[in-house]
Homo-oligomer: A and B are copies of this chain.
């Protein structure tokens, strides 16, 4: 039945509209000022229609977090497919993450918020599952590189599974984001260049995990070169000089 199909398509299209509008409101006015009525109005729909798509504000937030992931998924897939040593690619994930965090800081904070118990638990199960599913490819990309690394002898898993290995750099990245975004926890004077530092620590961690070739993580120049390469050649993003600092 083609009528139904069209409806379906229109529905999907409008859902996109709403998500885009919500994103815009957040970017322009901050997460703090996101209101359901603003989102609806911006699309020239009534609030009620918005509620046809999202059961609640929390639902919308979680949907947004899941949707926003897609860009990251693509970036991660590029890194995964990059012709480079497994170790560089693993670091590349961190670079990708930080580049995107830099480009869409508001949306990055949104994520932090959406994963908060208060929001997450208030969203309907189906939505949570959908958002979780949207995350899966990220993990897959990471795990694929771990697999390769093991296969080509760059890495011994030493009793862990690939997923557990991934958790290490992943935690480091997530933690660093959380800390940096709350400017102050690590005081400003302390780490002027948190992301450069993150890369260095990641490198140290990979050394600790025995990921060959072991590198000198104090070689800033090499890390900067890697970041630049990933950014421009793999992600095709403009290099943000800011990446090195916190401006």
Q: Which A residues are within 8 Å of any B CB, using their own CB?
A: 30-32, 109, 112-113, 115-118, 120-122, 128, 132, 135, 139, 158-161, 163-164, 167-168, 170-176, 178-179, 181-182, 184-187, 190-191, 194, 197-198, 200-201, 203-209, 217-218
Contact = CB atoms under 8 A, between A and B. Distances in A.
Given A178-B115, A208-B204, A217-B208, A163 B191 contact: yes
Given A170-B179, A207-B207, 9 more contacts: A113-B116, A115-B182, A117-B181, A163-B191, A170-B175, A171-B176, A173-B175, A201-B205, A206-B208
A197 B32 contact: no
Given A158-B218, A163-B191, A218-B158, A198 B171 contact: yes
User: What does DSSP make chain A's interface, helix, strand, loop or mixed?
Assistant: helix
Specify how many copies of this chain sit in the oligomer: 2
Contacts of A128: 184
Contact of A185 (B116, B132, B158, B182): B132
A209 B203 CA distance: 9
B121 A32 contact: yes
A78 to B, nearest CB: 22
Nearest to A214: B208
Contact of A132 (B31, B173, B184, B201): B184
